Chains A and B, each alone.
Chain A
Amino acid sequence: MAELEALQASLPGFEDLGATLVGICPQLPEHSAELKARLGLTFELLHDAGNRTADAYGLALDTPPEVVEVERRLGLDLPTFNGTRDWRLPMPASVCVDRGGVIRSMVAQTDHTLRPEPEATIERLRSGLQT
């Protein structure tokens, strides 16, 4: 969970801009609660049950059968972990929404091994606030 730790380390940068950061994940809340405590996160993690909010933002993806098989071999039982019957997942994404409710930046990754740098998100937030 390198990304969440990096976000925690950069949290003052978000707060300086008056921004509120949250993590969003389809896993059951008990897993997010454990993660939050283990990493000492001071921002909240929200439970996106069934990826409904990810769907609304165009971020939910299906997992093809051959990938499901690999994930199972790696020991992941996603439906149990998420309390769902499917293997859908969100694309990792960073979304900045202004006070008026308009999306000012959207960075979605199809390669789950990549993430936006927190400092780059802060920079996008800063430039979005000026427009």
Chain B
Amino acid sequence: MALSDTLEEIRNAFEAGATPREDIRILDAHVEFLSASGAAEQALPEGTVAPEFAMPATTGATVTLSDLRAGGPAVLVWFRGNW
């Protein structure tokens, strides 16, 4: 199954669940606001130099972008959290 199908199932389950309609409306309105505000366009564009970083991994080791791209391309996937 494609990831988009799984996400749609999660979305449908959320809407069918116990969350009040008004709360769902507030969350949807925020998503619409972000889309309309062009927030995604503030992300660095293709062709620009990726800012270097140093962040701790779950192992405690510090990982830099230079480390990640030393042997090939690096793919950075931002996610919001476990919740």
Contacts and interface: CB of A to CB of B under 8 A. Distances in A.
Contact of A115 (B3, B51, B60): B3
Contacts of B27: 67, 70
A65 to B, nearest CB: 10
Nearest to B8: A113
Nearest to B34: A110
Interface centre among B26, B56, B66, B77, by most chain A C-beta atoms within 10 angstroms, is B77
Contacts of B3: 2-3, 6, 115, 117-118
B75 A25 contact: no
Contacts of B68: 20, 22, 97
Interface string A104-131: 1110111111110110010001001100
Interface string B37-64: 1011011111111111101111110010
Interface in B59-80: 59-60, 63, 65-66, 68-80
Interface residues of A, number: 81
Interface of A: 1-4, 6-7, 14, 17-27, 29, 31-36, 44-49, 52-54, 56-59, 61, 64, 66-67, 69-70, 73-74, 76, 78, 81-82, 89-99, 101-106, 108-115, 117-118, 121, 125, 128-129
Determine the interface band of chain B, counting residues with CB < 8 A from chain A. Answer: 35 or more
Given A2-B10, A45-B58, A59 B75 contact: no
Interface in B1-25: 2-4, 6-7, 10-11, 19, 23
A59 B58 contact: no
22 contacts: A6-B3, A7-B77, A18-B71, A19-B72, A20-B75, A22-B68, A31-B82, A44-B59, A48-B78, A56-B51, A67-B26, A93-B43, A96-B73, A97-B65, A97-B68, A97-B73, A101-B66, A103-B44, A103-B45, A106-B46, A109-B40, A111-B31
B56 A3 contact: no
Given A17-B73, A66-B26, A110 B35 contact: yes
Contacts of B65: 97, 101
